[in-house]
Structure 1
């Protein structure tokens, strides 16, 4: 008999996820993470029930396929098992997914049944995952070599004087460095060059924030989310395709997943200074901002029923000058530019920093060197000359610079 602990909304697949991730039908893990993880956990109840053991609870594989594709029709038909599920989970209707293929459902079921809770990686005693910085070793070796060179020069001069004395050749008196005109001239020129470089470079770099890594109110690891779990950037930064701004996700976007993911079970996290970070404690911080009661699995509300939530005050990292216009949708949607082009290997960062300088020269060089997605892009259909040249084999692509990407008014208005 189909037990009470059952399959509500087997794979209550949020369509917002499925639109972002293209996964192979046999890749159960990718399908689960893209479609199911926001409501289900393989081994514990969340918004929906734990899914592991589903093959032993469901009447048949064909029944699972019917339930996923149209649970409402199965309930309306009077199916006993379907109605038990519906009633147990507060009559929460499941969205129908008629386009989900049998092999995709089977791949997810296989992944869920074989899922094992990951064991937290234990770092070696006294060690961290932070890469060692050996700069001080090079500095020390350089200083030692410089001292040895000075000693050898002095020894060479001493031996030279002894040799001259033995041969009866008079020794010339050494001129102190502070009175040596050649030394003074060379030193003066070097000081002027270095001072000029320092002043010009300081002026050029003014307002830039390359490698800027502020501390955030919550330790959010892009490596865990975008890297390990392969969450598409556009799920959180939903405006990147249609807006000038990429948008910082609101707390409720985080809670789509973290209503059921209440603890961190991955590898040990470290901040950029090598200090251990408690991932579960960071999730609890999110709950405080969201006003979520993990025990009751519901939001905390005041007397009027309003959710007691507080916006997270994230610190902005990437800042452009006020007179610079940049449009994310123009680059991502039209130009097909990958996030990593500007933001660096974001999927490898536990703490985000400004990877590139984002200077005018950097942007201009990109426009000069990068070929846009031109051939099959309706946005560039008016450039008939370039399309014809590509057909005739006279060129293999078009850069943004050739499309007016170096015009001042493109970025300054």
Structure 2
């Protein structure tokens, strides 16, 4: 009987142990430490989190170092990242306190994240938590490398410098070679030479002998090849760049007359510039707000205003030709720049009030945009959204806060 009791207790112990082991295996979630997981987490962090968070310092949201220890659980972190609003609305005390602490700033819901994605992000945060942040030597935040300067025409400029340098070197080599030949001739003149040798030494240099020489052929071939290579590279770098593009429009609308002479506000015609991604092209109805009264030339049916009236009467849109084109992979929001950033139209479009025919004034390349984000100060006055950002920025820098300091160089800002 005792043996049966011991056997039963032993089975119970084994069962409890196995259940405990299963529970630990099933519900414990160790943060991965593999380099592949950390690398994947870094990409996800930089693309989705870095605009509002840093690992070792507060930004819009809290510093994330140690978040896996502070939060109630890993499962809680997953739920909060996927839908923070739902967690806060549920009354979760930790979530509510966090929401109130950071000025009730709503975190973006990352519903597309898988559990493994979140674990990879935590792996990256844990790996970075112990690293020292880059100092004032130009390094990026959280130990990131500084972003190299970019520009639309950087490579062609460097090619010009390289080619000029090579040409200078060739000229110096020719001069040095001339001195060497002269010195050798003087040296040989002091020697006893045969008549045949003397003819070779003192043979006249003619255009024919120069053009047939291997050195000259090499130099010409090199220069032609270098110029051809530079032309090809310049051509490749100009693909997609339409600076100066000024297509003929169906109606010869003059910005010089409307925006310049009559000082009509750009926002009156381009109504979407303060509200939407697109500035919008004015409809015929907007044109007719003025041209119901201003009808010069409409009696004869000739002139540009007559074309507007005809389109209005026939209820047909004017088929304007688009001038400023961005690739489909790039996102640009006019309202964000004009309404929030206070950017003037002329900053990107040039002296539009002086143009009879509108042309693309700026490069509109990625390098051009990035350069602007690096140089442009954030206009934070009167906008409470920036108060916390300005406070944090002023603790670490004496320079004005630039667009790049608030995520203006993050890839996902323009490409998503």
TM norm structure 2: 0.48
Answer 1 or 2: which has greater helix percent: 2
* Rg larger for: 2
